[in-house]
Chain A
Amino acid sequence: MIITLTEYLLLSPEIFILTMACLILVVEAFVGDRYRQASYVLAQLTLLVAAFISGSLIDNEALVMLGGMYVHDPMAALLKTSVFLVTIGAFAYARSYMTAQGGLRGEYYVLGLFAVLGMQVMISSHSLLTVYLGLELLSLSLYAMVAFDRDSPTASEAAMKYFVLGALASGMLLYGMSMLYGATGSLDIATIADVISAQGERSLVLVFGLCFIVVGLAFKFGAVPFHMWVPDVYHGAPTAVTLFIGSAPKIAAFAMAMRLLAESMGGLLVDWQGMLMILAVLSLAIGNVVAIAQTNMKRMLAYSTISHVGFLMLGILSGTDSGYSASMFYAITYALMAIGGFGVIILLSRSGEEADQLDDFRGLNDRSPWFALMMLILMFSMAGVPPTVGFYAKLAVLKAVIDVDMVWLALVAVFFSIIGAFYYIRIIKLMYFDEPVTDAPLKINTDLQIAVSTNSLLVLGLGLFPGALLALCNGVLA
């Protein structure tokens, strides 16, 4: 197999990230404590360059290469670019967390970069083999990151739960893939799609395999009823890790769903549409209702993630290009909101203790009006209040669902979003109308101020001018 220059160019984001991750590992081992920031600066530069490279590849036409294992298409380039940019944000928050709390070390960035590599592999996969390998690379890095804080029992418990349930989900996914392979005789996504469309009637064994693949996907997404790990892991992991898990991997999970369901099993749309419908409605219901009962901010955001996953699935199950692009828009903007939400928790935390209780947000307006405003924007965006970007994401998904004549589904989604708005607005009420518990001034370093402000203003800005990103999402799928 000869790899041409064009193919090397298209592969360059992956090659670059892998090389730099290994380099940073060596740098981290040798410079040690003297230049603590070296690995951080290198990691951020790496991600910036990679984002620039893959951003410039969006216009290249689609190409399947490496013996059908790897595909470059505009969707992959856009999703990779957004993964890089979201991870830059996540690393910026993580550094502030590390200086304030300790506990995390340079390995965070190295494992984070390997997780990013895993996401890239998933996004660009064109074979069931590479989907699985990318997923394992991502998951393995995340398991280790959750367990970083070894002295904390909740973190160890979270890591153990995540690991065991993740292994179970991988097993389900693999079993489904083996059925698919048995029925079609191929691991290649395009070949599977051809075989399925060539079969006149739906083969039972294909649907059987599909069930397991959907279960595996739902586990990785954290959709109800496969969501039990989400609150525990989000709560137990160090906040810097939680915000990474809750953001960029959702984009990769969306790509995996696209590759597995839409691209390889598009012929079975009728079957997986019904399955995703159940998952979406349950996720919206359980996520939004149970979040109300939470007093811990991280658990609340975990249930909010579950409800957002429900929305993501609505877009995918519509089965149209506009639905897919709406879902993609939702995944990217949700990742942006999620790092912001967890970022504010880091911002409020004092050294040695995390500010992850709802009470910590009481009277934030008196302590820092600017950051209360930033949190207000993020919360409104998650609730879907215009003019923030969350509104347009929900609008696009609902429009796609109504276009395929599933008005009742849209009504259910709106109904539960209104219930969900309660707990987002409760935070705003706590910040603006309650007395602060403590008068201690916020000690925030400049980096974190810049990161939170940029993040929130980006959420607002994308809400005011959503056209460009929406057009980009539509364009890459056209």
Chain B
Amino acid sequence: MDIERIIFWVFAVILVFAAGRVITVRNPVHAAMHLVLAFFTCAGLWLLLEAEFLAITLVLVYVGAVMVLFLFVVMMLDINMSPLREGFVRYLPLGVIIALVVFSEMFAVVGVKYFGSDVIAIPERHGADYSNVRELGSVLYTDYVYPFEIASVILLVAIIAAIALTMRKRPGTKSQNVAQQVAVKSTDRVRVVKMMSEEKQGSSVRD
């Protein structure tokens, strides 16, 4: 067994374990951390497939940004996960049975005979000077420019939808209006009240 295969098996086992823990641990923070582990090992597997750019992007974007935000949300919202998981144990046997039945049916119909290495040739290895990023870059904005543009529009729609659904002006919220704060004049802050001077009360009594 060569080193590549050993790495694959180690990473695969860790990946399956981490993915399983994501949905079985009680603590949402632990679940998020296991998801980070799953992403990380997944990136390792992609490196074996010579998809270096995608692997690094997975680590940077998902581990670095998305999961950190996710942890923020989990910690800020303080969701009690136990009511969400109430039916989990009760439905688990049924779910496992259905999953096994579906899997074995699919395996019986399709199996591995259509996608084995004897049917689809193993892609050739590239040398050390092969640049994954250059290959991606050369097709992303040429052959795939149309899907790329559509994907960007989908992201734009996601932004619009998120803002449209969460922006609301509620009465009674205390927010700063910087423009008003800058434009404020001294007369707005201090009110000078003119009044007649009064005699000190009780002073004559003490003297």
Chain A residues proximal to chain B, CB less than 8 Å: 1, 18, 22, 25, 66-67, 69-70, 105, 107, 110-111, 114, 117, 121, 127, 129-130, 133-134, 136-137, 140-141, 143-144, 147-148, 150, 179, 182-183, 185, 203-205, 208
Contact = CB atoms under 8 A, between A and B. Distances in A.
A67 B150 contact: no
Contact residues of B: prevailing secondary structure: helix
B151 A141 contact: no
B91 interface: no
18 contacts: A1-B142, A67-B143, A67-B146, A130-B150, A133-B150, A133-B154, A134-B150, A137-B157, A143-B161, A144-B157, A144-B160, A150-B165, A150-B168, A182-B120, A185-B120, A203-B114, A205-B110, A205-B114
Contacts of A204: 109-110, 114
A114 B146 contact: no
B145 interface: yes
A22 B152 CA distance: 13
Given A22-B156, A141-B161, 16 more contacts: A1-B142, A1-B143, A1-B145, A18-B153, A66-B145, A67-B142, A69-B147, A70-B146, A110-B160, A114-B153, A130-B146, A130-B147, A133-B150, A137-B154, A143-B161, A205-B114
Please name the 4 residue pairs, one residue from A and one from B, whose CB atoms are nearest each other, closest first.
A144-B161, A107-B164, A133-B150, A67-B143
A370 to B, nearest CB: 37
Contacts of B143: 1, 67
A143 B161 CA distance: 9
A134 B154 CA distance: 9
Interface of B: 106, 109-110, 114-115, 120, 142-147, 150-151, 153-154, 156-158, 160-161, 164-165, 168
B150 A121 contact: yes
B116 to A, nearest CB: 11
A252 to B, nearest CB: 14
B145 A140 contact: no
A424 to B, nearest CB: 35
A141 B123 CA distance: 39
A69 B146 contact: yes
Classify the secondary structure of A's interface with B: helix
B5 to A, nearest CB: 23
B164 A148 contact: yes
Contacts of B153: 18, 114, 117, 137
Contacts of A141: 157, 161
B165 A114 contact: no
Contacts of A70: 146
B165 A147 contact: yes
Contact of A140 (B106, B115, B158, B164): B158
A114 B149 CA distance: 13
Contact of A67 (B144, B154, B158): B144
Given A107-B164, A110-B160, A111-B160, A66 B114 contact: no
Contacts of B120: 182, 185
A140 B143 CA distance: 25
A182 B114 contact: yes
Contact of B161 (A69, A127, A140): A140
B185 to A, nearest CB: 27
A127 B160 CA distance: 27
Contacts of A1: 142-143, 145
Contacts of A137: 150, 153-154, 157
A351 B90 CA distance: 47
A18 B106 CA distance: 41
Nearest to B168: A150
A208 B109 contact: yes
A150 B158 CA distance: 17
B110 A129 contact: no
Nearest to A69: B146
A18 to B, nearest CB: 7
Contacts of B154: 133, 136-137, 140
Contacts of B168: 150
A243 B153 CA distance: 24
Contact of A66 (B109, B115, B146): B146
B93 to A, nearest CB: 22
